Amino acid sequence: MFVLISINGHEIAIDVDHDTVEGLIGKINGANAGITASYDPLSDRLNLQATAIGPDLIDVTADSTGFLSAAGLDSNNTIRGRLADNQNVVSNLSQFAGVANGSFNINGVSIDVDASHDTLQSLIAKINASAAGVTAGYDAETDRLVLTSNNGTPVSVGSDTSGFLTAAKVSRKINPNAAFNGSGANAALFDPGKSVRAGSFKVNGVRIEVAADDSIASVVAKITSSSAGVTAAFDETA
């Protein structure tokens, strides 16, 4: 006698008089239902695992045979297809749990964030397709988003109402060659509330003059070339 079960909408005929467990596994795997069936002798049941990437459970229904129950199968104990983190919506990821609908700016260009639909992958695509003049990529070793300028100019980030930049560990990297009075992409990118203005300071009693359009690099050079008897350097990793 033949009866039918349905897995992901694909009907599978079972010969209750002749099919073996091995034969049933072969039928399920050959049904193009997007799953792989296997037998677990420790739990004495069949496992169904999705072959495609996706967050949905496998749909097992329409069992008039009692086979699914006997095999310990229902949608709640099937194995989801693994969804790579960069393809999952940001609201489903613990690192981005605090991200909300909003936007952030890169080089003055606004990037919208839809926390319920955007993925890390889609946000990277948005950045790269924008007029921000940068290439975005994910660094798996540091677990952070990396922004690289397309033309060698400093990258300016800010105005983040979504919280995405913080969650993605995108920092405001100081530009040592930018003028202290620069703005936008040409700003020195000090932390909020910090700035440098024209004036002077002393090193070993030697006065070092600072102009508004000086940069970290030019001030370092002034110190080193002075008679203060020191060599100055800027540590970008500090």
Structure tokens belonging to residue 177: 């060659």
Residues of the chain with CATH 3.30.70: 86-173
Distance CA 227, CA 202 (A): 11
> For the domain 86-173, what is the CATH code?
3.30.70
- Please state, as a whole number, how many other Cβ atoms lie within 10 Å of the Cβ of residue 142: 9
Give the pLDDT mean for 200-208: 95
- DSSP for residue 83: P
Q: What is the separation of C-alpha 185 from the centre of its chain, rounded to a whole number of angstroms?
A: 24
Distance CA 55, CA 40 (A): 23
| Top-confidence residue, 145 or 222 | 222
3-state secondary structure 124-138: HHHHHHCCCCEEEEE
- Please state, as a whole number, how many other Cβ atoms lie within 10 Å of the Cβ of residue 90: 28
Rounded to two decimals, the pTM is 0.44
| Top-confidence residue, 132 or 57 | 132
Give the pLDDT mean for 53-77: 57
How many CA within 13 A on the CB side of residue 216? Answer: 14
Structure tokens belonging to residue 15: 């010969």
Alpha helices in the chain (DSSP H): 21-29, 67-70, 120-129, 164-167, 216-225
| Top-confidence residue, 218 or 70 | 218
Distance CA 121, CA 138 (A): 9
Band of residue 78 on the pLDDT scale cut at 50, 70, 90: very low
pLDDT at 77 over 50: no
Distance CA 29, CA 44 (A): 19
The per-residue pLDDT for 56 is: 52
The per-residue pLDDT for 84 is: 45
One-letter amino acid for residue 51 of the chain = T
Q: What is the pLDDT of residues 151-203, one digit of tens each?
A: 877 677 878 899 888 888 886 566 788 888 887 656 676 766 778 999 999 99
pLDDT at 36 over 50: yes
